[in-house]
Structure 1
Amino acid sequence: MDTQILIIASGNPGKVREFKGLLSGLPLKVKAQPEGLDVEEAGSTFTANARIKALAVAAETGEWALADDSGLSVDALGGAPGVHSARYAPSDPERIARLLQALESEDKRNACFCAALCVAAPDGTVLLEVEGQCKGWITRTPRGDQGFGYDPIFEVEGTQATFAEMSLQDKKAHGHRGRAFTLLEPRLRQLLSQQ
């Protein structure tokens, strides 16, 4: 029996590495999407964007594709940056700086990370969709050097640590992507057993 190939629908090396770690216990051959493949995320929700990416990468590669769309929604900013989290500024340091500046005089710093995951087949079938959330707040200064994106300024509720201060194991246990993956894994395992 051939090992199922699963393409991670992302050009972000940090995200691909994180998913390879999360998926390591499954009978899958995990690969990054082809370089130069750019999918426009035109959806208005995290779930819609994950579906758009998974379907496009599955169709392009002829393999199953796993896409996630995740982002940070800050209460004081009316849910921004939300689905625009990755496009809030050109780089991670600039995104962090812009968000901290927007919250400079704000005491209510509650925020929520959301991750929507979608697995699609090359024939256009959506095989699985799940969503995970993680509540916390935005710190006043970045802390930690692990992770990527907004990780250094997002303190996870009940941990007194930012994502950037956590090990991959802790991040998996507490994080939005880890929570979404906890929902996805048993269903993906079941799907693989039916192949």
Structure 2
Amino acid sequence: MQIVFATNNKNKIKEVQSLIPETIELLSLEDIGCLEYIPETQPTIEGNAIQKAEYVKNNYNYDCFADDTGLEVTALNGEPGVLSARYAGPQRNADDNMNKLLSHLENASSRAAQFKTVIALHLNGELKTFTGICKGEITTEKQGEKGFGYDPIFKAEGYSQTFAEISLEEKNKVGHRGKAVTQLIQFLNEF
């Protein structure tokens, strides 16, 4: 089976590629010649994932899946949420985003947060979604060199290290994207 993962984020591709069976050939947007920016204008994480999957299906006619992920912080009423990638501005800079978040939580009594990933799958004319959630907390400072995005400031429940300090294999076991991709793979294997 050949399927497009509607992203050009090499970190996401690496994470998902390590999870899917060899019987599924994963193509990136670059592989199908989609070099333009795919709009993410929906007010929800699920809406953005669906919008991206539909864009690829409608414009390139490939079966595909797309994801959108947000970090939802309880003390900030779910911020940054759907705006996670551009929380500190359109430059989409991870350090700027983390610095802004840490400054907003400086005096917060709760640092509870969760990562949420929604995958929208467009396959044989049908649309299906899969959701993965990883609960945890925001640290007071950046720790670790692995991962990407908010990984250096997020600790999953039951862990003393951030996502940026644990292996990709461990992150995939407990992480939001790994949980959503596992559901996707189960569905594809039964298809």
Q: Does 1:106 align with 2:108?
A: yes
User: Taking every aligned residue pair, what percent have the same amino acid on both sides?
Assistant: 37
Q: 2: CA distance between counterparts of 1:20 and 1:182?
A: 12
User: 1:11 maps to what in 2?
Assistant: 8
What is the CA distance between 1:184 and its match in structure 2? 1.8
Q: 1: CA distance between counterparts of 2:9 and 2:39?
A: 15
What is the CA distance between 1:63 and its match in structure 2? 1.5
Q: Does 1:37 align with 2:33?
A: no
Question: Retained in 2: the 8 A contact 1:59–1:124?
Answer: no
SS in 2 for 1:22: coil
Amino acid at match of 1:118: A
- CA deviation string 1:104-129 (max 9, x = no partner): 111311001001011114x7531x31
**TM-score calculated relative to the size of structure 2:** 0.91
Which runs of structure 2 are paired with 1:69-80 in the superposition (5 Å)? 69-80=68-79
Number of residue pairs aligned between Structure 1 and Structure 2: 185
- CA deviation string 1:156-187 (max 9, x = no partner): 11011211111111011110111112222111
Q: 1: CA distance between counterparts of 2:137 and 2:186?
A: 30
SS in 2 for 1:96: helix
Question: Retained in 2: the 8 A contact 1:39–1:56?
Answer: yes
Question: Structure 1: 5+ residue runs without aligned partners?
Answer: none
**TM-score calculated relative to the size of structure 1:** 0.89
More divergent stretch after superposition (139-148 vs 59-68): 59-68
Which runs of structure 2 are paired with 1:128-139 in the superposition (5 Å)? 128-139=128-139
User: 2:121 maps to what in 1?
Assistant: 119
Q: CA RMSD in A?
A: 1.5
More divergent stretch after superposition (167-176 vs 30-39): 30-39
Amino acid at match of 2:55: A
What is the CA distance between 1:32 and its match in structure 2? 1.1
- CA deviation string 1:11-58 (max 9, x = no partner): 2111111111122x1412111113522121122221111111111112
Question: Structure 2: 5+ residue runs without aligned partners?
Answer: none
